RNA sequence: GGAGACGUGUCCGAGUGGUUGAAGGAGCACGCCUGGAAAGUGUGUAUAUGGGAAACUGUAUCGCGAGUUCGAAUCUCGCCGUCUCCGCCA
């Protein structure tokens, strides 16, 4: 959530930055500014009335103590009148406040100056490519066929148990996923991230904190009976660990990692994009999250990008890094780098990680602050990234590493998986 | 799920309608004492937001929300959480 004081002092800049996103409701900026002015005016009126009520009530107390009942009754009448006046002000104040916060929640984050203009994924900027795309043999198959052949994932049974878009991992497939999770977590904790195992459901306040609500309401599974949401990413519970806290300056940066299942309704997704492991309602992911001092957040973003990049190098996958354009960037982000791996049999780039700096957009909602060098409390910056999303990594590994003999396991993973090859009779 | 107890500042802990933003203690900071330290001693020690150059000052906050009252940490109701007993249970 943007800060109203910043919006007021930089109205033109805010509009200009929002335009980079192709944000359709730029008019909200001016609306918010005038709403805020009106809000302040009415607040002042209400507070002044309250001040009169407070002081006079104290006087009544003193008069009662002295036994001057009549004088006390006179003052009571005055207070009652003020309170009636205040009641009407409060009613309109409340309505204004609701309108104001409702509208403020609709404003997305301001894109960083390095964010390219653009509307669609085609306008994203390729920052760099790494790794080499393998030459596949003649009988090479897309992963959804490999999975069947090696009996690694059973989509039919997944669909029977839960519905389409739910996978049942099986045998070596399940073990491959488990070994990747273990490897990713070890890699992250070795880099100084503290491991968490968070709740997979969160309440409304938590979902607002990281910005999933109200923007992505329809994307989350909602357990209405208990007013809980299934998390779409570990970012939600883990970033909120420090919500409403003023952390010690010496505790920064706070580095956290978590493995979790992620749940997404993916309403309206169709076509070949969703085939096999490419898009699921439930998938596994390991996430890294940092809370940092504002002045360091862009250095930290680069550090996190490097961290994820090295992981892909260890997995020996061909990858590229994209700087997302304004139109493709998430609601809460100021700058996002996406990582894609090339899945050689489907000849397709698959997004496996998204590393973002949210600056104060999330921490303003969560009120995560620290006392800076001058002793002033200040919002920290929050960042996160996937390291990594499992199903698409598995898809790319299966496709890129297939051979007549079986599927090769990258060296870095062999100790975790317990073998160098997944054999056909497996 | 049933019955009961409880939820106060960094921590412990007082406070059942009126100078209580909140006693007292611990902790912390600064000063005195000391050769130095400990002990002792003095002072200070919440957050947010509005006004003000500042001193200072208005408002809100004793789990959260609503209500009663001229006035609520104190009374009433709802919610959340913690603990104890019972039930159920991986």
Distance A424 CA to B7 C1' (A): 61
Task: Residue A112: count other Cβ atoms within 10 Å of its Cβ.
Answer: 19
What local confidence, expressed as pLDDT, does residue A215 receive?
87
Q: Please list, residue by residue across A289-312, b when 16 or more beta carbons sit within 10 angstroms of its beta carbon and e when fewer do.
A: bbbbbeeebbebbebbbebbbebb
HEC assignment per residue over A91-150: HHHHHHHHHHHHHHCCCCCCCCCCCCCCCCHHHCEEEEEECCCCCCCCCCCCHHHHHHHH
SS3 A212: coil
Distance A220 CA to B84 C1' (A): 38
Query: Which nucleotide minimizes the distance between its C1' and the CA of A246?
Result: B47
Distance A199 CA to B1 C1' (A): 23
Give the confidence band of A377 by pLDDT, cuts at 50, 70, 90: confident
What local confidence, expressed as pLDDT, does residue A361 receive?
95
Distance, CA of A176 to CA of A182 (rounded, Å):
10
User: What Cα–Cα distance (Å) separates residue A374 from each residue in A25, A252, A339, A357, A370?
Assistant: 38, 16, 38, 24, 11
What is the DSSP track for A353-386?
EEEEEEETHHHHHHT-EEE-TTS-EEEPEEEEEE
What local confidence, expressed as pLDDT, does residue A247 receive?
86
Looking at per-residue pLDDT, the higher value among A216 and A167 belongs to A167
Tell how far CA A361 is from the center of its chain. 10
pLDDT for A119 beyond 60: yes
Question: Residue with CA nearest B51 C1'?
Answer: A44
Q: Is the dihedral of CA A156, A159, A165, A169 positive or negative?
A: negative
- Interface confidence, given as ipTM, is 0.87
Burial of residue A275, with CB atoms counted within 10 A of its CB: 0-12 exposed, 13-18 middle, 19 or more buried: middle
Query: Which nucleotide minimizes the distance between its C1' and the CA of A60?
Result: B70
Distance, CA of A381 to CA of A375 (rounded, Å):
17
Question: What CATH number does the domain located at A4-104 have?
Answer: 1.10.287.40
Give the confidence band of A66 by pLDDT, cuts at 50, 70, 90: confident
Q: Which residues touch strand B (CB under 7 A)?
A: A 5, 40, 44, 47-48, 50-51, 53-58, 60-62, 64, 76, 79-80, 83, 246, 369, 377
**Phi first, then psi: what are they for A176, rounded to 5°?**
-60, -45
What local confidence, expressed as pLDDT, does residue A142 receive?
96
**Which CATH number, 3.30.1490.20, 3.40.50.2300, 3.30.930.10, 3.30.70.20, labels domain A121-423?**
3.30.930.10
Closest by CA to A417, choosing from A181, A258, A196, is A181
User: What are A30-48's pLDDT values in tens digits?
Assistant: 999 999 999 999 999 999 9
SS3 A192: coil
What local confidence, expressed as pLDDT, does residue A272 receive?
58
Strand A246-247 with A369-371, pairing: parallel
Cα A306-A312-A316 angle, rounded to 5 deg: 135
CB contact at 8 A, A325 and A117: yes
Strand A254-263 with A194-196, pairing: parallel
What is the DSSP track for A231-247?
-SSTHHHHHGGGTT-EE
Distance, CA of A311 to CA of A32 (rounded, Å):
44
Query: Which nucleotide minimizes the distance between its C1' and the CA of A65?
Result: B18
Closest by CA to A348, choosing from A398, A273, A296, is A273
CB contact at 8 A, A334 and A359: yes
Q: Please list, residue by residue across A126-137, b when 16 or more beta carbons sit within 10 angstroms of its beta carbon and e when fewer do.
A: eeeeebeebebe
Distance A128 CA to B47 C1' (A): 46
Q: Domain coordinates of chain A in residue numbers? A: 4-104, 121-423
Q: How much is the average pLDDT of A143-156?
A: 96
DSSP-derived letter for residue A316 is: T
User: What are A289-311's pLDDT values in tens digits?
Assistant: 999 999 999 999 999 999 999 99
Cα A169-A171-A176 angle, rounded to 5 deg: 75
User: What are A229-276's pLDDT values in tens digits?
Assistant: 999 999 999 999 998 888 888 888 999 999 999 999 987 666 657 789
Outline where A225-293 has alpha helix (H): 235-239
Distance A66 CA to B16 C1' (A): 23
What local confidence, expressed as pLDDT, does residue A305 receive?
98
What the block records as the tokens of A378 is 């200040």
């Amino acid at each position: 959530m943007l800060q109203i004081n910043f919006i007021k002092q930089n109205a033109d800049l805010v509009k200009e930055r929002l335009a980079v996103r192709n944000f359709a409701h730029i008019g909200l900026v001016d609306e918010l500014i005038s709403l805020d002015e009106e809000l302040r005016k009415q607040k002042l009126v209400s507070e002044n009335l309250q001040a009169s009520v407070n002081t006079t009530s104290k006087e009544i107390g003193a008069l009662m103590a002295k036994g001057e009942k009549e004088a006390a009754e006179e003052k009571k009448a005055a207070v009652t009148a003020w309170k009636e006046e205040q009641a009407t002000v409060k009613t309109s104040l409340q309505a204004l406040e609701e309108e104001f916060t409702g509208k403020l929640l609709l404003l997305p984050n301001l894109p960083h100056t390095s964010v390219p203009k653009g509307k669609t994924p085609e306008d994203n900027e390729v920052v760099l490519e790494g790794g080499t795309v393998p030459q596949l043999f003649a009988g090479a198959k897309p992963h959804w066929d490999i999975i069947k052949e090696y009996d690694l994932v059973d989509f039919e049974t997944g669909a029977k148990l839960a519905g389409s878009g739910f996978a049942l991992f099986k045998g070596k497939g399940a073990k491959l996923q488990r070994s990747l999770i273990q490897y990713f977590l070890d890699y992250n904790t070795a880099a100084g991230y503290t491991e968490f195992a968070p709740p997979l459901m969160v309440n409304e306040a938590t979902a607002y904190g990281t910005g999933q609500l109200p923007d992505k309401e329809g994307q989350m599974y909602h357990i209405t009976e208990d007013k809980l949401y299934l998390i779409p990413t570990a970012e939600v519970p883990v970033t909120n660990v420090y919500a409403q806290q003023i952390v010690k300056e010496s505790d920064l940066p706070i580095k956290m990692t978590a493995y979790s299942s992620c749940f997404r309704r993916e309403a309206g997704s169709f076509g070949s994009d969703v085939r096999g492991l490419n898009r699921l309602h439930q998938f596994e992911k390991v996430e890294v999250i940092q809370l940092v001092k504002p002045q360091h957040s862009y250095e930290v973003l680069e550090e996190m990008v490097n961290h994820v990049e090295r992981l892909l190098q260890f997995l020996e996958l061909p990858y590229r890094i994209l700087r997302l354009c304004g139109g493709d960037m998430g609601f809460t982000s100021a700058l996002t780098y996406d990582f894609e791996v090339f899945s050689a049999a489907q000849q397709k780039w698959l997004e496996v990680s998204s590393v973002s700096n949210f600056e104060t957009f999330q921490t303003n909602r969560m009120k995560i602050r620290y006392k800076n060098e001058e002793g002033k409390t200040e919002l920290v910056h929050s960042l996160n990234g996937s390291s990594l999303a499992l199903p698409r990594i598995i898809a790319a590994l299966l496709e890129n590493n297939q051979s007549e003999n079986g599927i090769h396991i990258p060296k870095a993973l062999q100790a975790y998986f317990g073998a160098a090859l997944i054999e056909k009779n497996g």
